[in-house]
């Protein structure tokens, strides 16, 4: 996995394919309609100031690598 859930936060990122389970929030799929995505559920019981963090190891490559991010709000 490219990202690792942070252990000292208030709630966690989720990794899914398909809908989030909440019809009022979240995507129905990733941008291709076939893959995985990560998201945070910010509905109740979340409170202002709650945080969900991800960490990533340092990557060392011998050649150029491209990582694409797609963001849906």
Question: Number of C-alpha atoms within 13 angstroms, CB side, residue 56?
Answer: 6
Q: Give the pLDDT score at 49.
A: 92
Distance CA 51, CA 12 (A): 8
Return the SS3 of 24.
Answer: coil
Domain ranges of the chain: 1-47+62-73
DSSP letters spanning 27-70: -SS-TTSSS-EEE---STT--TT----EE-PPP--SS-------
Report the predicted TM-score, pTM, of the whole model to 2 decimal places. 0.64
Q: Give the pLDDT score at 7.
A: 75
Q: Give the pLDDT score at 2.
A: 66
> What is the per-residue pLDDT across 15-69, written as a single tens digit (0 to 9) for each?
888 888 777 777 888 888 888 888 888 888 889 999 988 877 777 777 776 666 7
Q: Give the pLDDT score at 48.
A: 93
């Amino acid at each position: 996995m490219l990202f690792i859930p942070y252990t000292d936060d208030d709630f966690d990122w989720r990794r899914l394919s398909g809908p989030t389970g909440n019809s009022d929030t979240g995507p129905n799929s990733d941008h291709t309609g076939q893959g995985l995505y990560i998201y945070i559920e910010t509905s109740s019981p979340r409170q202002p100031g709650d945080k969900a963090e991800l960490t990533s190891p340092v990557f060392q490559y011998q050649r150029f690598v491209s990582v694409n991010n797609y963001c849906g709000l």
